Structures are given as C-alpha cells and as structure tokens.
Structure 1
Amino acid sequence: MADCELVVHNVQHPDGTPCDLLLAGERILAVQPHEPNRSWECSVFPGNGALLWPSCLDSHVHLREPGFEHKETIATGLQAAAAGGFGQVMAMANTDPVNDTPGTTRFLLDAAQKSHPQGPALLPVGAATKGLQGQELAPLAELAEAGCVAFSNDGNPVSNTELFRRAVEYAADWRCRVIDHCEDPHLAPGAGINEGRMSSRLGLKGQPTVAESLHVARDILLASYLDLPIHLAHISCRESVELIAQAKQKGVPITAETCPQYVLWDEGLLEGFNTLAKVNPPLRTPDDVQAMRQAVRQGVIDCLVTDHAPHAGHEKDVPFMAAPNGISGLETALSLTWGLVAQNELDAADWIRLWSQAPAEVFGLPAPSALTAGAPADFLLFDPHRQWDVSPRSLASLGKNTPCLGASLTGRVSAHFLGGRCIYDGNAPLAGSH
C-alpha cells in the first residue's frame, strides 16, 4: 500500500486472527490478514506473534515530582508507564507543593511534555482540598481549566461530609469526578496491615475492613442523594464490594477501582514483617481476595489501577511500622493480571475492559483505539509467553519497592506505540539501568 510508512508484522488481533498492521502517520492505515512471506516496501517492525491490545490507561499513579524526586520523577515514572503498557496515567496530587493551584498543574504538564513529548501522557488529578488538609476546598474550577481531569484528596480522606459534598457538586460542574480514598481517619489510619490473624501474630495494630466499608457506605448514600458520580479508590475487601454491588443494582452512580495486589495477594505476604508488601489499604484475607476477584469478573469493580507508589530503597528498609505504604506497580501490573487470564479467572476481553475501556469511560476520556483502519495508532504488543525476572535492573522506575522483586513473571509488554511511534521496545536495552 503506497501510503504505508510502517508495518507491524505478525501480531494477533483481539478478535483472535493473525494480522499485519499498516501505519501511516498517527493512524492505522489498514489491518490485513498476516502474510508470512510478503515483502514490504516500507519499514517493518516484527511483532513475533504478540497479542495486539489498545494502549492502557492507569487512572491512579503517584509520580512524586515535584518534591520527592528521590522516589520518582515525572521522566522516570512516564518511562515506567511506557514499559508497562500505559499510554496515559492520572497523577495524584500528593506532591510538594500539592497540586492545588493551576501553576502546579501546568508544571506537571510541562514537565511531562519536555521529558516525553511523544507520550505517555500525564493527566493531572487536582487536590480536592487545599493542601490535602480537608479544611477548605481547592480552586476546582481553576484546576479544571488548567488541565485536571479529576479531583481527589488521595490518602487524606475528607471526613467532613459537607465539605466532601461540595467537592462532588463543584467537580460535576466541570464534568469531573471526585476519587475518594475510603478510610475512616480514626480506625488505625494507614496501618499497612489488616486487623486479624496476621496482625495478631506480628504484634501490630491493624486496620479493620470496616475502616474502608464505612466510608464506602457514606459515599454511596451521598452519590444516591445527589445523583452525582463518585469514584471509589483501591477497594480491598468483601464488605465494600457487597455494598457497591447493592448500590449498582439500585442505579446509584458509583464507580470503583481495585489494584492487582488486592486480587492476587493476601495478608500472608506480610510474614516476617515484609515492608515491600506494606500498602494502604492493607492486603486482606484470602476470603477478601476471592470476593475481589469475583467483583472484578462481574463488573462490580469497574477498572483496575496500579496505585503506583514508588519509594527509595532505604525508606522501606526500616522497622515495619516506620516504613511508608506503597508498591511500585506500573511495570508489573499487566504481567500480574495476565496471570488471571491464564488461570481462566478473567478472559482477554475482561482484561482490555479493565485496563483500557472502563477507565476511559469512568473519567470521560477519549475511548481507546478500536485497532481498525482509521483509528489512532495507540497500541501495545504483549508477549504472553515471555518470562522475565523482576529486578532493580529490569525496572525503569526509581521505585524498586515491589513484592515481586526477585520473582520470575510470565507475560510482558514487548512494544508500545503511541501516535504511530514506538515509545517502548522491549528488545532494546533499558536506558540508564543499573
């Protein structure tokens, strides 16, 4: 085809057919049945039979800059996103200064454009309250005009329900949602371990599941009363998903996310005071994990997020209660959740929905590429058989704080294209790795 500039040769389309993807500029020129022996007059990128998926959207990440560049920078965080298969990431506001002014929002967007002009794209999440202090609303209109796509008080839940109500109402005026970290601020906030058998064994004060479900119930009642959407962050336990399921059956405009850790791992991973598995909300019981898997499968949970929370190595190498919460997850998330597809817990359509289609729908963002002629050339190639070792060297993120460290995973992004350009080639050496 005369206009073709690049052929991505031999990939498996989501419909299950082997194909060759022809690109021209920023769009897909054609999708043709795979021709093994055809000679092409344009450049060829070997797909090697990899799975072809739309580029993914992570609607909950922490990129740390400005203020905490020893943990992560916008440049390294976006490089990790590219390697992980995420063409867009929604960056939370808990930076220093907090993203509660248009100037900070513009700084984030400018830094992303300078470091990654071809993408991934950084989508700022503005602070719901000034300084994330829960005392006074941030200037939501000005933040939306500057480029914020949602609002959240992140790890500092707004306990003042009247203030939270006003945040939801004002955000709706700009067709934005408030993302709420559901946690009662008085029930062992940020404990990093579930209240139960493991916390008793380790002699630690744990956080009960009711600390989460109480706020879930509040938000459901408020969303119902206002008839306005609220998005619930990183849901982790059975009680919460039961409340969400009941609310959705009644038509309450509530949406929810969870993370790979809550559908894969339980509190047993904290054995030996493992700070790499310390996260907020904490890992729960095996029963909670099964409930979360069912909720993801049935659509009670709308989307998956990484809650990428990088920390410097020395910050986790301290006594358990002194260690910060968080897991670095951008580069392992697709590999880990692909394991659920391999185990028939999810199918491939679920996987695409959870990581691409649903988050775009929830936050009113452009739909992912349809991977058809004329669609944006925004896609990733995923090798479901590729085995790789998770090590400091294999991760682009400055945060190496993952329970997967030292493990071997199966399945990895082999290439990532945005606007027809390859922003990540898994066969190329990792720049700056050490």
Structure 2
Amino acid sequence: MRLLIKNGTIVNNDNTQKANVLIENDKIIDIINHEDVTVDETINAEGMLIVPGLIDMHVHFRDPGYEYKDDLESGSKAAVAGGVTTCLPMANTNPLNDNRSITEAMIAKSKNIGLIDLLPIGAISKGFKGESIVEMGDMIEAGAVAFSDDGLPVTDSSVMRSALEYASSFNSFVISHSEDCCLAHRGVMNEGEISTILGLKGMPSEKEEIMVARDMLLAKLTGGHIHIAHVSSEWSLKLIELAKKEGINVTCEVAPHHFSFTDKKLLTYDTNYKMSPPLRSQRDMEAMREGLKNGLVDVIATDHAPHHSDEKFVEFEKAPFGILGLQTLVPLTLKLVEDDVISLNKMVELTSYKPAKLLKLENKGKIDKGMLADIAIIDPNLEYIYDDNLNKSKSKNSPLLYEKLKGAAVYTIKSGNIVYKFPECITK
C-alpha cells in the first residue's frame, strides 16, 4: 500500500514546510516536492496541516468494567476522530490494571480493534489502596509504560517513595494525581468567589499544591521521574518551575479545559464543567497558558473521562467529576494558536513530539523519512457543529457538544492506514 499526501503544510516541532508525504506500508518513505510517483491512493491536503499523530498521555477508556461509559473500541474511535493515534489509559478500571494479566488483555483487545497504539498505565498500588506497590517489572514486561493511581492520590509518602525508586530502576516513571484529600473533603468545585455565590463546597488550589510539593521533594530524594498530571493551579506551576531549576526530574501536563475555561462556567450549574481538579480562576487559567507558552508545561493531555448522561444529569454535588476531551483537543489547542499563545510548531511539540520523547517512542512524534506513518491531517479553518454524528464516545459529557467549533482532524492515518475521515472528506 502506497499513499501520497500532497499539497499540505508539514508541521513539526522545529520546522514547517510545504511538501508531499510518501507512505509505503506503515512507514514514511520520503518527503518530496513533486507528485511523479506511483501510488495506490492520494489525499489532497491543500490548505491543511500535516502533523504527527497526536499522543494523549492521559485518558480513561473505562474498559474493563465500565463499558457503558466507553470501551476500548469507542475510545479508540474518539481518539482517531481527534487526530490521536496513541493513548495511555489510566488504571482505574474494574478490575484495576494492577497486574500483568489486565495489561496484556487491554493491549490484546486494542490490537484486535486496530485503530490506535494503546500504552497502558499501571496502578502504583495494589488495589489502589495506597499500601504496597504493584509488581512493576512484571507489568512493564507486559506492556505498561508508567504508573499512577490517577483518581486517587498515594497518601503514604513511603509508598510513593518506593514507587519512584522502583519505577526508576525499570527506566519508567510515576504519574502523580496531586490531591490532599483531607483538605476541603467533599468539595465539588474551586474554592473562591464563584463557589460562594453558588453555595457549593469548594476545593482550594492548595489541595493540589501540597501534593505537588511533596511529590517533587520525593523525586529529589529518589532521583526518580515524577510527572504531574492535570496541573490546574498557578502555584503548582511555580513549584514545578522551582523544581526544574533545581534539577529535579519533574515533568507536567495541562488539560485543554484548564487552559480554556474558568470556574465562571459553573454559574450555570452545568455538571459537564465539573471535573477534578476543578476549573479554577482566571488567574490560574492564564498561568496555564503562560506555562504552555514559555515551555514550563511539557505536554497537553486531555484527561478524557466519559460518564453516562444519567450520571451527570443529577444535582451538582452528586455528579461525577470528568469531561470528554479527545475530540475537542484539536479545536481548543488551535484556539491557543489563534490567540498567539503558542505557535503551530509548539502545538506539535506539546501534543506529539514531547510525549514521544517522554515515552521513548523513537519512531513517533515527527513527520520525517523513516518514521512510523502515524499522521493527523488537520483543517484549521473547518467550522462545524460537534454533534451526535461526530461524537464517537458512548458518553456525552462535554459542554462543547452541540456547539460550533473551529479546526478538526479531517484524516487520521495509523501505521499507513486511513483510520478516520471527517464526514465531509473525500480522497482525490
């Protein structure tokens, strides 16, 4: 199978060029400035961006155990519809991904579906109890790439220390869900003016910052790599900046909802804006955008967290935390480009190149000769309604559903195969 992508603009983290991409089987075999080649299929990408397939380091596919919300198939379909070709699902499934058999089953099922590369994140602690760490070496051998009890913090510092030490010995890393659960227990949104107006129990940003500080100090102690998930607070970024200056092995991610929205969105009591960590103040949101701009933030990750409509259509306090994210990643990140917060090259760095580097995926993250043909073709000017026809998740918990969006992946190519076309797309 030979495929030519012509007339598009290739965007990598460090360069942009108008050229054609020649693919054979699962590899990019050449970048050319002509069309004089024999191919089986051609995609005309005139006016579009050709970028490396996006890598989402933080998703929840709810499989096994909660397949009524999403499963590996619907999650994979949502991923490729968002230009994402590699996903790292968190371990809070049922049963938990805290042993090699679950890791192997997830990978095998994903390979059978054949849409994305699935790189599971194993639990840190057995049973998510925070008492003893999992068999990390066994799980890495099975295909796990990192470890997190995401959804719950590891409250015992000695357990987190052991996790960092063991993960480091296997050339892996730990992802921290930074939350001090004893502070503002049962909070449902950011603590501040808006929570006071709404009469809802708030969660101060210190609830996140305390655990960010602890985990970075443990990384200092152990020399292990700590990755801070879904950063939402200005002071969390200040602490991360200090740690990086001190040479502590820390990286971090920010989710699109935290650089796009503030807690003012909750004035409507829309539970689709309820998430953990919560939407915070304008100042916090601006800090996330500045962190993306100046390079302090390493990765954009969606924290895609599907929930059934019946679970969200309840009183605000009773609704679960979480928001869909895979299919709104591109339009929300392109809005940063439109607002001159980041460049297109920086967008590729944050969504593909840097995740590939952190995960040591040498054949991903760039459009170049010899690289794996994982590619998203993005139309940055396409305007559309994100409706039920486009939404590939089983769930609908996005406040952007039925809204007009701008920018989308119109083709997604995985290992040389076209795995998604935007409904209006045709090959020429």
Normalised by the length of structure 2, the TM-score is 0.95
Tell me, yes or no, if the aligned pair for 2:152 and 2:177 is still in contact at 8 Å. Answer: yes
Quick one: which of 129, 133, 138 aligns to 2:129? 133
**2:177 matches 1:181:** yes
Structure 2 Cα separation of the partners of residues 367 and 290 of structure 1? 34
Structure 2 Cα separation of the partners of residues 49 and 16 of structure 1? 14
Instruction: Please give the residue correspondences for 1:26-425 in structure 2 after superposition, counting only pairs within 5 Å.
Output: 26-33=26-33, 42-116=40-114, 119-189=115-185, 191-425=187-421
Tell me, yes or no, if the aligned pair for 1:9 and 1:47 is still in contact at 8 Å. Answer: yes
- Give 1:5's aligned residue: 2
Query: How far off its partner does 1:40 sit?
Result: 5.7
Query: Is 130-139 or 382-391 further displaced after alignment?
Result: 130-139
Structure 2 Cα separation of the partners of residues 416 and 40 of structure 1? 22
Query: How far off its partner does 1:319 sit?
Result: 0.2
Percent of aligned positions that are identical:
35
1:393 counterpart SS class:
coil
1:212 counterpart SS class:
helix
Tell me, yes or no, if the aligned pair for 1:134 and 1:159 is still in contact at 8 Å. Answer: yes
Tell me, yes or no, if the aligned pair for 1:133 and 1:156 is still in contact at 8 Å. Answer: no
With over 3 angstroms needed to count, the CA separation of the structure-2 counterparts of 1:174 and 1:428, relative to structure 1, is farther
Tell me, yes or no, if the aligned pair for 1:183 and 1:189 is still in contact at 8 Å. Answer: no
Structure 1 Cα separation of the partners of residues 9 and 124 of structure 2? 42
Say how many residue pairs are matched.
Answer: 422
Query: How far off its partner does 1:136 sit?
Result: 2.0
Tell me, yes or no, if the aligned pair for 1:383 and 1:413 is still in contact at 8 Å. Answer: yes
2:360 counterpart SS class:
coil
Tell me, yes or no, if the aligned pair for 1:190 and 1:325 is still in contact at 8 Å. Answer: no
2:120 counterpart SS class:
strand
Structure 2 Cα separation of the partners of residues 267 and 107 of structure 1? 39
With over 3 angstroms needed to count, the CA separation of the structure-2 counterparts of 1:114 and 1:189, relative to structure 1, is farther
- Give 2:21's aligned residue: 21
Structure 2 Cα separation of the partners of residues 372 and 176 of structure 1? 27
With over 3 angstroms needed to count, the CA separation of the structure-2 counterparts of 1:70 and 1:197, relative to structure 1, is same
2:244 counterpart SS class:
helix
Structure 2 Cα separation of the partners of residues 367 and 230 of structure 1? 24
Normalised by the length of structure 1, the TM-score is 0.94
Q: Name stretches of at least 5 consecutive residues in structure 1 with no aligned partner.
A: 430-434
Q: What amino acid is aligned across from residue 128 of structure 1 in structure 2?
A: I
2:94 counterpart SS class:
coil
With over 3 angstroms needed to count, the CA separation of the structure-2 counterparts of 1:259 and 1:198, relative to structure 1, is same
Structure 2 Cα separation of the partners of residues 381 and 139 of structure 1? 40
Structure 2 Cα separation of the partners of residues 163 and 208 of structure 1? 25
Structure 1 Cα separation of the partners of residues 328 and 418 of structure 2? 20
Q: What amino acid is aligned across from residue 269 of structure 2 in structure 1?
A: F
Query: How far off its partner does 1:26 sit?
Result: 1.6
Query: How far off its partner does 1:49 sit?
Result: 2.6
Structure 2 Cα separation of the partners of residues 190 and 359 of structure 1? 33
Query: How far off its partner does 1:428 sit?
Result: 6.1
Structure 1 Cα separation of the partners of residues 263 and 307 of structure 2? 21
Query: How far off its partner does 1:247 sit?
Result: 1.1
Tell me, yes or no, if the aligned pair for 1:190 and 1:281 is still in contact at 8 Å. Answer: no
2:203 counterpart SS class:
coil
CA RMSD in angstroms comes to 1.6
With over 3 angstroms needed to count, the CA separation of the structure-2 counterparts of 1:413 and 1:296, relative to structure 1, is same
Structure 1 Cα separation of the partners of residues 117 and 24 of structure 2? 21
1:387-420 deviation per Cα after TM superposition (whole angstroms, max 9, x unaligned): 1112222111112111112211110001011211
1:321-340 deviation per Cα after TM superposition (whole angstroms, max 9, x unaligned): 10000001001111111111
Query: Is 387-396 or 56-65 further displaced after alignment?
Result: 387-396
Query: Is 26-35 or 213-222 further displaced after alignment?
Result: 26-35
Query: How far off its partner does 1:222 sit?
Result: 1.1
